[in-house]
Amino acid sequence: MDQVLVTAIAIATGIATLVLISLGLAVIFGMMRIINFAHGEFIMLGAYATVLSTNAGMNLWIAMLVIAPAFVALVGLGCERLLIRRYYGNLTTTMLLTWGLSLFLVGSVTALFGNTTRGIAAPLGSVTFGNYSVSVYQLFLIAFAALLVLGAALFLTRTRFGLIARGTMQNPAMASTLGIDPGRVYAATFAVGAGLSGLAGGLLAPVSGVLPNMGASYVAKAFVTVIAGGSSVLVGTTGAAFMFGPIEAIVSLISTPVIGQASLLAAAILLLRLMPMGLSAGFRRST
């Protein structure tokens, strides 16, 4: 019984991690079609913002949930205004641009803080189920990821900004004839995407090694999840996370972690072969 529960928690953690690290990219790549190779570095910046402000005496929860997303949203806004906006619609150029941005951010953080930064521990302690004990913070991450998806869905479908953003992404020309400035919507959407990545970084800071190059371990998985998710940002990404998270966790548990990772990639390839437009193309109504 306890083993089933712990396995379920491990699977849920896998899904929650994928959702957290992919959501920001889903907005920037899924909605705006910008291949953001600096996505991992946005996560890293969020983690650094959390660690540094906590070390400076800030409350961990404020650092994680407010400072990290706000700071990275600002960085994102700066990048969009200074660099990205000049190259909308040009996939290859934005790809090179964000790749350069990624190298620049890793280099800058290394130069500023060195490659060893004192981290912070996970709060909330642990809870015991029979023979197993599980981190409470891990349970918090699962709950938070669920809330975040729900919140993002409500934001995109029920708020005016959500409507405008979706409209602008679908047809910028039409949006501008309705008196909306697509440039501002793009900037704000990019900032929101960056802020979500920063939030992921903040939330993962207490359970990961916060180092300048940490982004590299998230970026590939985030892209796999978002691409497999397809055009519908939220439903697709969450759906893909629900598919890949359990596959990886269960295969890792019954065989080895290497095969677990390979099976995730195999599942992604199979999925894209069967549904080239992504998982959400199979859903009728999309968000």
Partner 1 sequence: MMNISRRNLIKTGAVGVLAAGVSPMLSATSVFAQGETVAVGSLHDLTGGTDVYGVPSHACMKMAIAEINAAGGLLGKQIELKTYDGQSDIKKFPQYAQQAALQDKVVMLQGAITGASREATRPVLRRYKVPFVYGTIYEGGLCETNAISVNTGSDQQAIPLLDWSFKNLGKKVFYIGADYNAPRNIGIWTNHLANQNGGTVVGEEYYPLDVTDFSTAIAKIQAAKPDYVHSCLVGGPHMAFYRQWAAAGMLKKIPIVSVVFGGGNEHMVLTPEETDGIIVAYNYFEEIDTPANRDFLARADKTMGASRPYINGIAIGGYTGPMIWAEAVKRAGSFDYAALMDALKTDIEWAGPSGKMVLEAKTRSTIQDMHIMQVENRKWKLLETQSQVRPFDFGGACDLLANPRNTEILVPKV
Q: In the complex with partner 1, which residue's Cβ is closer, 90 or 256? A: 256
Q: Which residues bind partner 1 (CB under 8 A)?
A: 3, 6-7, 9-10, 13-14, 17, 107, 110, 114-122, 124-126, 128, 131-138, 204, 206-211, 213-214, 216-218, 220, 249, 252-253, 256-258, 260-261
| Sign of the alpha-carbon dihedral angle for 146, 148, 152, 158 | positive
Best CA proximity match to 200, nearest among 161, 226, 166: 226
Q: Which neighbouring-strand residues pair with 132?
A: 129
CA 197 distance to own-chain centroid: 5
What is the nearest approach in angstroms of partner 1 to the Cβ of residue 136?
8
What is the nearest approach in angstroms of partner 1 to the Cβ of residue 104?
13
Q: In the complex with partner 1, which residue's Cβ is closer, 208 or 231? A: 208
What is the nearest approach in angstroms of partner 1 to the Cβ of residue 250?
9
What is the nearest approach in angstroms of partner 1 to the Cβ of residue 117?
6
Cβ(242)–Cβ(280) below 8 Å: no
What is the nearest approach in angstroms of partner 1 to the Cβ of residue 94?
24
Give alpha helix (H) positions in the chain.
Answer: 2-25, 39-55, 60-62, 68-82, 91-113, 136-158, 160-170, 172-177, 182-204, 216-229, 233-254, 257-274
* Token reading at 165: 């953003």
Q: In the complex with partner 1, which residue's Cβ is closer, 78 or 257? A: 257
What is the nearest approach in angstroms of partner 1 to the Cβ of residue 110?
7
What is the nearest approach in angstroms of partner 1 to the Cβ of residue 4?
11
Q: In the complex with partner 1, which residue's Cβ is closer, 180 or 207? A: 207
What is the nearest approach in angstroms of partner 1 to the Cβ of residue 161?
32
Q: In the complex with partner 1, which residue's Cβ is closer, 126 or 171? A: 126
Rounded to 10 degrees, the C-alpha dihedral 83/37/189/137 comes to -140
Best CA proximity match to 209, nearest among 136, 118, 137: 118
CA–CA distance from 282 to each of 17, 169, 245 (Å)? 24, 21, 19
Q: In the complex with partner 1, which residue's Cβ is closer, 99 or 132? A: 132
Q: In the complex with partner 1, which residue's Cβ is closer, 82 or 121? A: 121
Q: In the complex with partner 1, which residue's Cβ is closer, 169 or 264? A: 264
Cβ(142)–Cβ(124) below 8 Å: no
Cβ(24)–Cβ(239) below 8 Å: no
Best CA proximity match to 54, nearest among 143, 123, 141: 123
